[in-house]
Amino acid sequence: MSDLGHVLVLAGGLSYEREVSLRSGRRVSEVLRACGVDVETRDTDASLVPSILADPPEAVFVTLHGGAGEDGAIRSVLELLDVPYVGAGPDACRVAFDKPTAKAVVRSVGLRTPESVTLPKETFHDLGASAVLGRIVERLGLPLFVKPARGGSALGASFVRTAEDLPAAMVGCFAYGDTALIERYVEGIEVSVSVVDLGDGPVALPAVEIVPDGGVYDYAARYTAGRTEFFAPARLSPAAAAACAETAVTAHTALGLRDVSRTDLIVDADDVPHFLEVNVAPGMTETSLLPMSAEAAGQDLGELCRALLQIATTRKPT
């Protein structure tokens, strides 16, 4: 049996990524129970706070994706309740969850990230969509990648090959958020690097290479078994693999993250990694990337989750 007491896994929520979160929560709960941990899984509703006050858990594992799960809000509530949790604190989450802000931070410490424009919906409409989008294409060139400035799971994201495709991509993006991030598309190998800190500093797990069957790693490609081929570790040169690991750890540190994160990168033809975004609550489903990284590193996912919870308990107020 585990030496941990009762722990809580938070899953679900009301974001667009609710179903993915529920799957992540089930997976984490299952692997923790297999390690002998006493686990309760709960959604975020009006009964959550009274329940925690009545029976405080030893620690919380947050598997909420998007919205309150990654923008720091639920973590602020947990801190108000004096309950320790796995992952970054509220301030770091707010910075990391906003992709343009995260890009600015990592660029300030020397990491490469695609040139981009951030465009709120109001500006898009008020200044005239045609004129603004035309200038974006002139500035960034083609192809482009459009995605919501906040959010995940590729919801609202589009690969734009021609200028004529850009207006529809913007409309699709604004369906999931009020601000769009338009990036110059970098051709290369798409990889994801998970970072864990088990007490001796952040360490990168083996990179996972992502090869979607349609060429774009969209929502369906992420969460439909068989739609994407993964290679763990990624098929990179030793130099590129080392550069990806260093980039992920640097991003994790620069953004003030804690315990666990996952950084998405594109490795160009010169083996140079380009930072795309970071995730403070990585997916834990059967097709998610952190579990693949852990397996490639020879780590048992349940033991890894248990160790992260154990570390969180050391931050419990005295």
Q: Which residues contact 279 (CB under 8 A, 6 or more apart)?
A: 70, 96, 152, 261, 262, 263, 264
**Distance between CA atoms of residues 43 and 200, nearest Å:** 32
Cα angle, residue 23 at apex, residues 22 and 26 outer, rounded to 5°: 85
Residue 115 is labelled as binding a ligand? no
> Per the residue annotation, which of 15, 17, 194, 209 is the catalytic one?
17
Domain boundaries, the chain: 6-87, 94-112+187-298, 116-184
Asked whether residue 1 carries a pLDDT value surpassing 50, the answer given is: no
Q: Which of 210, 207, 315, 193 is nearest to 260 (CA)?
A: 193
> Per the residue annotation, which of 21, 29, 194, 288 is the catalytic one?
288
Residue 264 is labelled as binding a ligand? yes
pLDDT at 128: 67
Q: Which residues contact 128 (CB under 8 A, 6 or more apart)?
A: none
Q: How confident is the model at residue 154 (pLDDT cuts 50, 70, 90)?
A: confident
- In single-letter form, the type of residue at position 109 comes to V
Q: What share of the chain is helix, strand, coil (3-state, %, to 5)?
A: 40, 20, 40
Bridge-partner residues for 61, per DSSP? 9
Summarised one tens digit per residue, pLDDT across range 168-216 is 999 999 998 999 999 999 999 999 999 999 999 999 999 999 998 876 7
Is the pTM above the cut of 0.75?
yes
CATH class of the domain at 116-184: alpha beta
**Distance between CA atoms of residues 244 and 304, nearest Å:** 22
Residue 40 is labelled as binding a ligand? no
17 is catalytic: yes
The CATH number of the domain covering residues in 94-112+187-298: 3.30.470.20
70 is catalytic: no
Bridge-partner residues for 117, per DSSP? 182
- pLDDT, mean of residues 261-266: 98
> Per the residue annotation, which of 21, 29, 116, 153 is the catalytic one?
153
- In single-letter form, the type of residue at position 44 comes to T
86 touches 258 (CB < 8 A): no
153 is catalytic: yes
Bridge-partner residues for 144, per DSSP? 160, 184
Q: Rounded to 5 degrees, what are φ and ψ at 296? A: -65, -30
Report the Cα 140 to chain-centroid distance in Å. Answer: 25
The listed CATH number (3.30.450.20, 3.40.50.20, 3.40.50.10320, 3.40.50.720) that belongs to domain 6-87: 3.40.50.20
- pLDDT, mean of residues 290-298: 97
